[in-house]
Amino acid sequence: MKRQRIYTIVVTIISVFLLGLLIFLLVNNTKQEATISEDAALNIILERTGTKKADITITSTDRDSKDNTYEIEFYDDQYEYDVEIDLVNGTILKLEKDIRKGVSVDDLPSENTISVEEAKTVVLDYLQLTEDAVNFTKSKLDLENGTLVYELEFSTDTVEYEANVNAHTKQIVKLDQTQRVNGGNANSSTDYIGIEKAKEIALNHANVSDVIWQRVEFDVENNIPVYEVEFFVDRLEYDYEINAISGDVIRYEVDRD
């Protein structure tokens, strides 16, 4: 009886080992081999980046035989590129494009981009502001993640804005609004409750009065204008998000300092 049990255990161990070995061999044998040569991969990359072999200088290449990928860095007269491609199916896994050092954005081809004035109009129309009501402090064409965007910074008497506008599609890809702590309404043409009212709502909700103010800012979260309010009292940190139009408390947290 004892020999029978030992025999059963040994057979089970051997079976598990053989099964594991079989799975290992199957996984390794089904691994796809590279079907695209480095020259063919380069042609795919050149087509994807819109460049020509005669116009580029390759600075580095790296082939990963384990993952079957090929990474190449190169530059032309205006841009630097870092591209990674799958050598099995030709899929581009990474494509980074940056303006070369020493090259001004103003020297780049227009590539059917909008003007800076059009970019300003896009943002001002979205915010329902007029140009004479704001003061622009920055308007710069730059390259971000391979896309030309206008970086705009401007302010009203009460609000500071930062916006990025896609120079090809006119899409607003970034919009930050920060209300000055001593300001009133975030936008005189919009019926916002204002900073003082937001602070009052937060204090009433927390049922406290003597506090140390940490931060009071206007922002837009998921297309909803909000006031972000932070303060300390009795070693507790309060963090509020208040709807800037209705005054509703959207979110609040209390943490011990």
**pLDDT at position 23, please?**
67
**pLDDT at position 184, please?**
44
**Pair 254, 238: CB distance under 8 Å:** yes
Closest CA to 200 of 233, 257, 160, 240: 240
Residue matched to tokens 């622009």: 136
**pLDDT at position 40, please?**
92
pTM over 0.85: no
Tell me which H or E stretch contains 19: helix 2-29
Domains, the chain, with CATH or none: 38-103 (3.10.450.40), 106-179 (3.10.450.40), 195-256 (3.10.450.40)
**pLDDT at position 235, please?**
82
**pLDDT at position 52, please?**
92
φ, ψ of residue 35 in degrees (nearest 5): -115, -5
**pLDDT at position 2, please?**
56
Closest CA to 55 of 78, 26, 22: 78
β 212-221/224-233 pair status: antiparallel
pLDDT along the chain (257 residues), means of 10: 62 70 58 79 90 93 89 90 90 82 68 84 91 86 79 86 89 80 45 86 93 82 83 90 92 84
Contacts for 139-142 with beta carbons within 8 Å, 24 or more apart? Answer: 140/105, 141/105, 141/106, 141/113, 141/116, 141/167, 142/99, 142/105
**pLDDT at position 26, please?**
57
Burial 108-117 (b: 16+ CB within 10 A, else e): beeeebbebe
**pLDDT at position 188, please?**
43
**Count of alpha carbons within 13 angstroms of residue 169, beta-carbon side:** 6
Whole-Å CA distances, 33 to 22, 42, 89, 146: 20, 18, 10, 31
**Pair 97, 49: CB distance under 8 Å:** yes
Which are the contacts of 207, defined by CB distance < 8 A and separation ≥ 6? none
